[in-house]
Amino acid sequence: MASRTASKDIITLRGSAAIVSEFFGYAANSILYNRAVYPEESFTKVKKYGLAMLLTQDEGVKTFIASLTSQLSEWLEAGKLQRIVLVIMSKATNEVLERWNFNIVTDAEVVEKGAIKEKSDKEIMREIQAIMRQIASCITYLPCLDEPCVFDVLAYTDTDVDAPGTWVESDAKLISNPQMVKLHSFDTKIHKVDTLVSYKKDEWDEEE
């Protein structure tokens, strides 16, 4: 008679870095779609995380996100990445309207000693699903962006990191007296990602 036990999947530093960087690529696409930064018709549906996800077909944005996730994976594997922020700004004025914050806590022991962790892929996927569903429903809790917008990505790294030439020093692109909504988090047991969106109050909020 065969016996079965619930098995956990082995998570390595490289594997965890790949999970987190891939997550950010899909999350960025979902934010750009759901916040209408790019036209709806420029996205195509794919299946990921057990959900219907949207990916941009704009070649410039695709190249940018692919290059971005590759660099993030490298920093994550080195344990040097602390936070990623996707910023949405007014195209006309560069005023910051939203900041999607992804805070990252890395298990230092794994980076220093090469330890491995265990957690099932399904459990990680469920946690990511919850975040993606919250991003997809953001229209229910964020003000309407009723003007053309652009986006940028900020990466907060350890100070000893040499950034590639495509990255430049930037101000924090903060919002004065923002409203904030904390979203779900996910944890690979090596990298824990906490998600928070801060946004500019709309005029209706200010009049109350």
pLDDT of residue 30 exceeding 60, the answer is yes
Q: Mean pLDDT lowest for which of 5-19, 56-70, 171-185, 187-201?
A: 5-19
For residues 23 and 18, give the distance between their C-alpha atoms in angstroms, rounded to a whole number. 8
pLDDT tier, 3 (very low <50, low <70, confident <90, very high otherwise) = very low
pLDDT of residue 205 exceeding 80, the answer is no
Q: What is the pLDDT of residues 33-57, one digit of tens each?
A: 999 999 999 999 999 999 999 999 9
pLDDT tier, 206 (very low <50, low <70, confident <90, very high otherwise) = very low
Residues contacting residue 137 through CB under 8 Å, at least 6 positions apart:
none
**What is the model's pLDDT at position 163?**
67
**What is the model's pLDDT at position 5?**
46
Closest by CA to 50, choosing from 118, 123, 119, is 123
Q: What is the pLDDT of residues 92-138, one digit of tens each?
A: 999 999 999 999 999 999 999 988 899 999 999 999 999 999 999 99
Closest by CA to 183, choosing from 138, 125, 151, is 138
Where do the H-state alpha helices sit in 38-196? Answer: 59-77, 108-113, 121-136
